[in-house]
Chains A and B, each alone.
Chain A
Amino acid sequence: EVQLVESGGGLVQPGGSLRLSCAASGFTFSSYSMNWVRQAPGKGLEWVSYISSSSSTIYYADSVKGRFTISRDNAKNSLYLQMNSLRDEDTAVYYCARDPIYGGPRSGMDVWGQGTTVTVSS
C-alpha cells in the first residue's frame, strides 16, 4: 500500500524550531518529487515547498523562504522539513504530498499523508 506518514509536529514557542519528517512506503520513493503543503486552522491549502527526486531542484513559498529547509534521504525513504524562526502564522496541519510520475510535478499531488499539527504559541 502506498503510504506517507508525517511526524514531528507539536507545540513550539515563537522563534523556535521544529523538524518534520515524512516516512514513505509502498512505492519507489527515490523516483518521485515531493512537497509539503499546509493548512491553517479553518483555512485553505497552502503549498510550502518542493524537492525533486534527486534533491537537485528545490522551491519554497515566499512566506517560508529563508526560514524553512526541505530535504530528503532516499536511502531512508524519508522527507524532511526543518522549520526555524517559527511564527504564529505557521500554525497549521502540515501534509507531505507526492507528485505523480505521469504528468510530473505540475499535475498536482497524487498521494497525501494524514498530516502533522504544528502549533506556534507562547
Chain B
Amino acid sequence: DVVMTQSPLSLPVTLGQPASISCRSSQSLVYSDGNTYLNWFQQRPGQSPRRLIYKVSNRDSGVPDRFSGSGSGTDFTLKISRVEAEDVGVYYCMQGTHWPKTFGQGTKVEIK
C-alpha cells in the first residue's frame, strides 16, 4: 500500500498568518492517464470530512481561495495564505492513484 506521511502533525498558527502542510507519498502518484490523484480534506471539530482540493491543486466549489494545493510526484503541499478561526480542524491528504486509497495521518491546525 502507498504510505502517506504528513508533517507537521500539529500546527499552531496565529490568526492572519500563513500555514503550510506537507504530504509525502511512498510512491509516485502520477497515474497512467497523466493525472496526479492527490486530494486534500478538512475535518472541523465534530464534523464529517469535506473535500477541499482534488488532483493536487483544484479547489472545490465554495472553498475560499486562501487554500491552495501544489506539488508533484511524491511531494505535495497544502497552504493557507491567512488562517481564519473557521480553519481550525484536522487536514488529511489522500491518494487515489493506487488501490487501496490511503490517507495521511492528519495535521491538526489550531489557533495560538
Specify which chain A residues have a CB less than 8 angstroms from the CB of B94 in the assembled complex.
Answer: 45, 47, 108
Most buried by A among B99, B100, B101, B103: B101
**B39 in contact with A108 (CB, 8 Å):** yes
Nearest residue, chain A, Cβ from B54:
A107
Nearest residue, chain B, Cβ from A61:
B100
A100 beta carbon closer than 8 Å to chain B: yes
Alpha-carbon distance A95/B96, docked complex (angstroms): 17
Partner of A47, one of B97, B103, B104, B105: B103
Contacts A44-B103, A45-B106 hold; do A114 and B39 have CB atoms under 8 A apart?
Answer: no
Nearest residue, chain A, Cβ from B99:
A59
What's the dominant secondary structure at chain B's contact region?
loop
**A45 in contact with B49 (CB, 8 Å):** yes
A18 beta carbon closer than 8 Å to chain B: no
Nearest residue, chain B, Cβ from A114:
B48
A109 beta carbon closer than 8 Å to chain B: yes
Chain B's interface size range is: 20 to 34
Contacts A95-B48, A107-B54 hold; do A47 and B100 have CB atoms under 8 A apart?
Answer: yes
Contacts A45-B49, A103-B55 hold; do A108 and B99 have CB atoms under 8 A apart?
Answer: no
Give a binary string over B31-60; 1 marks a CB under 8 Å from any A CB, 0 the rest: 100010101110100001111001100001
**B103 in contact with A106 (CB, 8 Å):** no
| A57-79 CB contacts (< 8 Å) to partner B | 59-62
**A107 in contact with B105 (CB, 8 Å):** no
Chain A residues at the B interface, C-beta cutoff of 8 Å? 35, 37, 44-47, 50, 59-62, 95, 97, 100, 103, 105-110, 112-115
Chain B residues at the A interface, C-beta cutoff of 8 Å? 1, 31, 35, 37, 39-41, 43, 48-51, 54-55, 60, 90, 92, 94, 96-97, 99-106
A-B contact pairs, 19 of them (CB 8 A): A44-B90, A44-B105, A45-B92, A45-B94, A46-B103, A47-B103, A60-B100, A62-B100, A100-B54, A103-B55, A108-B37, A108-B54, A108-B94, A108-B96, A109-B49, A110-B54, A110-B60, A112-B48, A112-B49
* Closest 3 A/B residue pairs (Cβ): A108-B39, A106-B96, A106-B37
